[in-house]
Amino acid sequence: MTISKKEWILLALRKAPLDRIHLMKALFLVWKRSGKNIPEYFDFVPYLYGPCSFEVYSVLDNLLSQGLIIQPSHSPQRSIGYYLTKQGRIEAESVANTADLSKIEMLELVVEKVSQLGFHELLKEVYSEAPEFAVNSLVREVIRK
Amino acid sequence: MGSDRQITSGMVRSTGQKIQSLNERCLWAASGEPALIQRVEERMGTLPPNAPLVNLRDQIGQIVKQCITELLQLDFRTPFIPQDPNQLLQLHPGDFVFAEFSPKPCVLHITAFGTPEWIKDRPFASGNGDLFAYALLQKYQRKSLNLERASVLAYKVIEEAIEVGAYGLGPPVDIWHLNTDGVKCLDSSQIAGIEDSVRTLREAEINLLVNKSE
């Protein structure tokens, strides 16, 4: 069964709440570690902060408007984690029960690791694993040090 | 071109788009009193379509001057103000900026006096946050940035001005692009990408200084 983009995000947040950049990088690492071969997955481009899929933003907006995830109110300068709502958790559990177990295990491993990394360590990990996606990064040289 | 979205009217604030397209190649925005800006906006439709700014400069200046004159004539406070133009203008403040990419990139500033001036080789900011913006942009004078990086800088400056400004500034941030394809307002996903780039830049800046001092 193919996991949809929305379901990938629900499954990631089922493991741990993540802010937008941590979520973006986790979804990227899943794709990279799957040999860049996941059907109907997010398209990543080398953007100004490394790998980025603009689809992630629109899917997050849809999940927020459907009431499946929430993000506590925060100052614009701070990035706060997304959390599953009760309805979102029910949907995430339902997907987890039917999806390919190996994919879920890999996603959970990545999310667990990413959620423990600070901002700098996260970018360092991603840029060293996929330098071709760091070419346009504004902070590539800073992160390398 | 970028702006915040807070529209301030006396003690009341609301949200609205401040940047507008004048035609397919030109954007404009204003700070100041909504009554004056609305009046100027209504007159913009009378300008010849798609004429370059260099041809429209004095016509726009006339529109601004005319709108201020009309408002002052309508305003019952006017006779009670001494015949000092600066004091009169404080009744209906306004500041206008226009930008176009082709036929040649240019930025036109029109003051509440109706006086037009070209902004050359420097950034321009207007409104309650202008001093914050100028302070944050000062080190980028005469530096050349591509469109994506300039968008990140504009967003960062506006976001930081909103964060420290005590009055008249508020989220969200709008970013528009002007290039050979015309003018375009960035959609929510593009803005989110810029927002995350800004956060990355800010975190790196903090990390750089904090780590060096440890």
Q: What is the mean pLDDT of residues B103-111?
A: 93
The per-residue pLDDT for range B159-181, each reduced to its tens digit, is 999 988 767 788 889 999 999 99
- The yes-or-no verdict on residue B189 having pLDDT over 90 is yes
Q: What is the mean pLDDT of chain B?
A: 91
Using a CB–CB cut-off of 8 Å, the residues of B that contact A are: 148-149, 152, 159-160, 162-163, 171-173, 188-190, 192-197, 199-204, 207-208
> What pLDDT does residue A21 have?
95
For residue B172, cis peptide bond before it (omega within 30 degrees of 0): yes
- The yes-or-no verdict on residue B29 having pLDDT over 70 is yes
Q: How many CA atoms lie within 13 A of B144 on its CB side?
A: 0
Bridging pattern class, strands B173-179 and B182-185:
antiparallel
Task: Suggest the residue from B197, B205, B208, B212 to mutate for an interface test with chain A (most A CBs closer than 10 A).
Answer: B197
> What pLDDT does residue B166 have?
65
Identity of the residue in A47, A79, A143 whose CB atom sits nearest the CB atom of B199 = A79
| Token pair listed for B115 | 């006086």
CB pairs under 8 A between A and B: 72
- SS3 of A46, please? strand
Partner B contacted by A75 (CB < 8 A): yes
> What pLDDT does residue B206 have?
87
- What is the rounded end-to-end Cα distance, in angstroms, of chain A? 42
**CA–CA distance, A104 with A43 (Å, rounded to integer):** 19
Q: Which residue of B has its CA nearest to A22?
A: B196
> What pLDDT does residue A46 have?
98
Element (H, E) at B69: helix B53-74
Q: Count of domains in chain A? A: 1
DSSP character string of B123-161? ----STTHHHHHHHHGGGTT----HHHHHHHHHHHHHHH
> What pLDDT does residue B38 have?
94
Ramachandran bin of B114, using left for φ above 0, alpha for ψ from -120 to 50, beta for the remaining angles: left
Q: How many CB atoms lie within 10 A of CB B135?
A: 13
> What pLDDT does residue A142 have?
84
The larger pLDDT score, comparing residue B35 to residue B163, is at: B35
Domains present along chain B, CATH in parentheses: 2-213 (3.60.20.10)
The per-residue pLDDT for range B53-99, each reduced to its tens digit, is 999 999 999 999 999 999 999 999 998 988 888 888 889 999 999 99
Gap from A52 CA to chain B (nearest CA, Å)? 8
Q: Could you tell me the pTM of the whole model?
A: 0.90
Written as tens digits, the pLDDT of chain A (145 aa) is 789 999 999 999 999 999 999 999 999 999 999 999 999 999 999 999 999 999 999 999 999 999 999 998 766 666 789 999 999 999 999 999 999 899 999 999 999 999 999 999 999 999 999 999 999 999 998 887 6
- The yes-or-no verdict on residue B106 having pLDDT over 80 is yes
> What pLDDT does residue B214 have?
54
User: B189 vs A57: CB contact, 8 Å cut-off?
Assistant: yes
> What pLDDT does residue A75 have?
65
**Residue A91 neighbours by CB under 8 Å, 6+ apart:** A10, A68
User: B190 vs A54: CB contact, 8 Å cut-off?
Assistant: yes
Q: What is the mean pLDDT of residues B179-193?
A: 95
User: A55 vs B189: CB contact, 8 Å cut-off?
Assistant: yes
Question: CATH no. for residue A94?
Answer: 1.10.10
Amino acid in the structure at residue B70: E
- CA distances from residue B65 to B18, B85, B92, B195, B202 in whole angstroms, order as listed: 20, 12, 11, 38, 42
- The yes-or-no verdict on residue B22 having pLDDT over 80 is yes
Domain span including residue A74: 5-144
